[in-house]
Structure formats: structure tokens, C-alpha cells
Chain A
Amino acid sequence: MGFFYCRTKLSFTRWNADWKNATALYEQAAVGYRFKKENEKAKEAFEKASKGQEMISSPWDAAKHMESAASLAKELGHWNEVSDFYRKASELYRECGRSQPASDALGKGASALEDTNPDEAVRLYIDACEILEEDGKEQMAFDLYRAATSTYVKLERYTDAATLLLRWGVAADKCNAVNSQCKAYLSAIIIYLYMHDFQQAQKCYNDCSQVGAFLSSDQGRCARKLLSAYEEGDIEEIKRLAQPSPITHLDHVIIKLARKLPTGDLKELEKEEDKETLDENDLT
């Protein structure tokens, strides 16, 4: 790579850095190194090639090289570099005005980081979803939402997962994907119930019932039955409801949670409700 170096450095005879040729040479070097499996050097070469493409203002190629660099970084295990590279690639894609590859790049980064740095992964997923939503392409975001939700559940950040599901519901609403919307809402309710937060689940159900489609759908009916079973403290009913029915069509992560319902003690829920009635009595 030495002679590429001398092409870009300004010297006495060169007044302008000859980026064009340098880039071409960097690309060749990178491919050669990758072929020889010298990942470290290949990665650097891709980085430099990408910078060169930027300089000659062709962001598309620059982004492509960035992505290759990022995938090599993933193989090397430099996790922070992975996220940086993918973010940079995504920005370059956005410069080109192509939102789909931008979010794809972030999605790839997120899936690469799922095991090692799940927080960063989730952030990447959410950014990717935002990019698509800005561009009006919510349909493509469904897969990203799904992956992000499963990462959240793995991290046991259930409130975040539920909020994300509600966002998914909004996105589904915009593109008239009624089935996905209802499924998202049902999943959110199940997560709240799993967290043993009955009030939240009730509130969530009431909010979602504003959407007419959910109210009259299979999923809405199932949610109603679940909540009423919880109110009555009927464990058998809850277990029975989790068996067939719309719950089996949800994401498998959610199904696992549903199978573990009911968590905790249903008596507690009843006690809470009794307390409320006592309060009313006191007022009168």
C-alpha cells in the first residue's frame, strides 16, 4: 500500500491529491487482502478506499466500501468499529437519497452487535426504523421492529419492548396492515401482563381499543378474555387461553412469555382492587 500513499500525499510535483487513481488502487489492494484473508489490512484498505470515493464525491461507492470494511471489522471482532462503520455507511447512503440501503446498513450492524453489545444494537435498530418512517416506507420496518423487540425481551427491558410494540402498531396503522397492528397490540398487552402490571395492561387495552380494527379483531377478543380472566383470578382460564388462538400466531418470543403466564400471584391483583373499593366507601 506504500505507493498508494505517495499518490495522495502532496509533494513538490503534485499540487492536487490524485484521489481518483488512489481510490482505484486502494480498492484493488483491499480486494487482494481480503482474498488473502488478511482482514486487518483489508479493512484499512476499504476504509481508505471509501474515503477516496467520498473525496471524488461518489457517496454510493464510498458507502459500499464502508460496509465491506464494517463486515471485516465484525469478523475481526472490533465491535465499536463495527457500529461506527455501519453508521457512516448509512449516512453516506442517505446522502445519495436512498433510505432503504441506509436502514439496511444499520440493520446489518445491529444484527452483528446483537450478542456482544445489545444496547447499541437496539439503538441501531431504532435509528433504522426512523429512517424508513421518515421516508414513508414503514412496511419495510416491520422486520426491524421484530428484531428490536426480541432483543429487548432478551435484555428483559419489558417496558421498552412494549413501547416499541406500540410504535410498531402505529407504523402498521399507517400502511393499513391491520393484522400486524393487532398482533403488535396483543403482544404489548401480553408483555405488560408478564410484568405483572395489570393496570398498565388495562390502560394499554383501553388505548388500543380506540382503534376500531383492534377492537373487533380476533386479537382484541383474545385480549379482552385474557384481561377478564385476570380480573377473576382464573388461572386455568388463562392457561387455556394461551394454548391455541391468536397467541400462537405471534412472534415466538412473545409466545414463550405467554406460556409462562400467569406470573406471580393473582391474589395480589384482587387485593389491590379491594383496596380501591374501600377507598370509595371512605369517601361516602
Chain B
Amino acid sequence: MSVIDILTRVDAICKKYEKYDVERLNGDNVAGDDAFARLYASVDLDVESALQKAETASQEKNRAAVVALNAEIRRTKARLLEEVPKLQRLALKKVKGLSKEELSTRNDLVLALPDRIQSIPDGSTNGAKATGSWTASASRTEIRFDSTSDGRFESEYFQQTEESNQFRQEYEMRKMKQDQGLDIISEGLDTLQNMAHDMNEELDRQVPLMDEIDSKVDKATSDLKNTNVRLKETVNQLRSSRNFCIDIILLYIILGIAAYLYNVLKK
């Protein structure tokens, strides 16, 4: 049996016995119709996972991995802080089956949330301490621009540890990848520009043609209108009631003559 077959069979069996999955059911029931509870549960989960990441970051040796983890944690924190106002709004809404005390506890929980989020360590306060070689830049707060090629490299503060070397390498790699990506984007833009120019010229080419078509169609419509009006007059003349009645009377006369002849010949 191939892997795909095994996977499909496992999926089918799981689906069959879903109703016995107590954990999932519990999770579902707790959330249920309550939007606040759902959102709060997810935010809680995110905070827990962020705390775990912070733990791993503090134990990690590789400087570059630490920075990456910290960046992720910071992103998660920013996202969670955005969710907090939503939670506040939901907390104030009244849900059926909920007592007054529960409502006020919800409010408190939501208010406590931002503090919890902020307290997740993301290495931003530890950064200056850990990298001894960069403290020089922290003291020079008045100089804003980030220069990598200044005299500091020659000073005795510069200690080339293995970690900082790796860090530097990773930085170069990422820069190269960015450059590659930008190259691809620029090629695409070139093609776009060329196509846009060609489309421009094509449209310019078609403008006088459209004008011609326009004038010709105008002429055709006015001709058609003329013809229609004349046709209407002619048809009206033909259908004027006098001619019509005369036609009917003559028809009757002919029918009468035919009937008379028929009778005569029958005898």
C-alpha cells in the first residue's frame, strides 16, 4: 500500500470516530457561540507560545538564531496588541447565559492582557548588554545614521568572536538574497514598462481609426433614420383606412360573385 493510500485510510477512520475525540469536543464546546471566549483563547495560546519562544531564545547559543527568535516574538507581540481593542469591545457585549460577575471578570482579563503581552521578553532590553562590542554606538545617541564602515573597527573594543562572525555572515547572506529578489523584480518591471510602451503606441495607432469608424457610423445612422421616416410615410399611405375599406369591399364583392356563379353552376 502506498503512502497516499495509508493517509486516506487514516483520514477516513479519524473522521468516523471524530465524535469520540473528547479533547477536541471540549475545546469546541468551550468556544461555542462565544466570540469573546474564542478570541481570548487564541490570544492566550499565542502568549503562551511567545513565552516559550522567549525561553528558547534565552538558552540559545547561536546569536543569529536568537535575533531571529526575538524578531518573531516582537512581531507576535505587535499583532496581539492589535487584537486587544477587539477583545475589549467583545468583552463589553452581553452574551446570553453569562452572569454579571463573569462579564466584569472578562473586562479585567482584557485589561490585564496588554501588560502580559508587554512583559514577554523579546531581547530588546538585553541586546545592549550581551553585545559588548556595540555599546559604543548606544552611547552616541545624537548620531542617527547607521554607518558600518567607520573607525570603530580599528579600535580595541572590537572583539571578533565566532558568534559575531556568523552573525555578520548571515547578514551578508540575507542582503544577497534581497539583492537577488530586487533584481528579479526589476526585470519584471522592465518587461512591464516595455509592454506598456507598446500598448501606448498601439492605442495611438487606433485613435484615428476609431475616429473614422465613428464618423462613418454616424453617417450610417442618419441615413438609416432618413430611410425609416420615408418608409413610415409610405407604409402609412398604403395602409390608410380608405384604401383598406375599399379593399375589403371589393373582396366581398368578388366572393359574392363567386358564390353566385357556384350556385348557378350547381343547378
Contact = CB atoms under 8 A, between A and B. Distances in A.
Interface of A: 139-140, 175-180, 244-246, 249
A65 to B, nearest CB: 24
A140 B212 CA distance: 15
Interface residues of B, number: 10
Interface stretch (B35-43, B91-99, B135-143, B193-201): B193-201
A139 B205 contact: yes
B204 A139 contact: yes
B187 A177 contact: no
Nearest to B198: A179
Nearest to A244: B187
Contacts of A244: 187, 190
Contacts of A176: 204
A229 B172 CA distance: 30
Contacts of A177: 201, 204
A179 B205 contact: no
A140 B205 contact: yes
A175 B204 contact: yes
Contacts, number: 24
A179 B190 contact: no
B7 to A, nearest CB: 44
A246 B210 CA distance: 31
Contacts of A180: 201
A28 to B, nearest CB: 29
Interface in B160-197: 187, 190-191, 194, 197
Nearest to A140: B205
Contacts of B201: 139, 177, 179-180
Contacts of A178: 197
A180 B194 CA distance: 10
A175 B207 CA distance: 12
Interface string B195-237: 0011011001100000000000000000000000000000000
Contacts of B187: 244
Interface of B: 187, 190-191, 194, 197-198, 200-201, 204-205
Contacts of B198: 179
A266 B231 CA distance: 81
14 contacts: A139-B201, A139-B204, A139-B205, A140-B205, A175-B204, A179-B194, A179-B198, A179-B200, A180-B201, A244-B187, A245-B190, A246-B190, A246-B194, A249-B191
Contact of B197 (A140, A175, A179): A179
The dominant DSSP class at the A interface is helix
A245 B186 CA distance: 10
B186 to A, nearest CB: 9
A177 B197 CA distance: 9
A139 to B, nearest CB: 4
A176 B200 CA distance: 11
Nearest to B200: A179
B201 to A, nearest CB: 5
A99 to B, nearest CB: 13
Contacts of B205: 139-140, 175
B195 to A, nearest CB: 9
Contacts of A245: 190
Contacts of B194: 179, 246, 249
B99 to A, nearest CB: 69
Given A177-B204, A179-B194, A244-B190, 9 more contacts: A139-B201, A139-B205, A140-B205, A175-B205, A176-B204, A178-B197, A180-B201, A246-B190, A249-B194
A244 B188 CA distance: 10
Interface-centre pick from A178, A179, A180 (highest chain B CB count, 10 A): A179
A137 to B, nearest CB: 8
A173 to B, nearest CB: 13
| The 4 A-B residue pairs with the shortest CB-CB distance in the complex, in nearest-first order | A179-B197, A139-B205, A249-B194, A177-B201
Nearest to A137: B208
B255 to A, nearest CB: 45
B153 to A, nearest CB: 33
A246 B200 CA distance: 17
A178 B201 CA distance: 9
Contacts of A139: 201, 204-205
Nearest to A182: B197
Interface-centre pick from B191, B194, B200 (highest chain A CB count, 10 A): B194
A78 B30 CA distance: 88
Contacts of B200: 179
Contacts of B191: 249
Nearest to B194: A249
Nearest to B196: A179
A180 B197 CA distance: 9
A44 B191 CA distance: 50
Contacts of A140: 205
B206 to A, nearest CB: 9
Contacts of A249: 190-191, 194
A105 B82 CA distance: 69
A162 to B, nearest CB: 22
